[in-house]
Amino acid sequence: MNENKLTDLILKDDNFKKNFARLLNIDDFIIQKEEKFINNIKADFCFYNHKNKIIAILECKGQVGITEYIRGVGQILQYQGFKENNIFDKFLNETKVILVVPSSVFGKKSHFNPAKVFYPKETELIQHSYV
């Protein structure tokens, strides 16, 4: 699945939203697409609570090679830094920073090994298997 289809799914599919909320252990949220941070860095999605605080930041990748995958890891490193340094006053201590990637990245046909990539601390990696 390419990234555009995945982002459409996150925005439009109620079952996906419910499953995602259960996975993140959150009840109710508002989704903001392409939230802009300093240096014009845009997160694919921010999930907000009703107090306008960020519950989770998602960076989504579709079918990717190693370069695009590492770009995603770099993006989540920036989001984690924003959170840790309180760059944006809407973060919570519990804000989750998440990289969403296709499960095929972890398959036998993948051209790289994601287990040998270094990730920022406290970052969550979620595999999707949507086709």
The per-residue pLDDT for 113 is: 78
Q: How far is CA 6 from CA 17, 24, 62, in A?
A: 12, 17, 7
Among 9-23, 40-54, 102-116, the minimum mean pLDDT is found in: 102-116
Q: Which residue has the higher pLDDT, 89 or 131?
A: 89
CB atoms near residue 123 (< 10 Å):
17
129 SS3 class: coil
Mean pLDDT along residues 9-34: 85
Please state the φ and ψ torsions of residue 42, each to the nearest 5 degrees: -115, 125
The enclosing domain of 119 has a CATH number of 3.40.1350.10
- Is pLDDT above 60 for 31? yes
Please state the φ and ψ torsions of residue 85, each to the nearest 5 degrees: -100, 10
The per-residue pLDDT for 51 is: 93
The per-residue pLDDT for 25 is: 82
The per-residue pLDDT for 1 is: 65
User: Whole domain around residue 119: which residue ranges?
Assistant: 3-128
pLDDT in tens, 87-120: 888 999 999 999 988 777 776 676 777 788 888 8
Give me the chain's average pLDDT, please: 85
86 SS3 class: coil
What does pTM read for this prediction?
0.84
Q: How far is CA 74 from CA 43, 111, 125, 129, in A?
A: 12, 19, 13, 23
Mean pLDDT along residues 50-59: 93
Domain count, the chain: 1
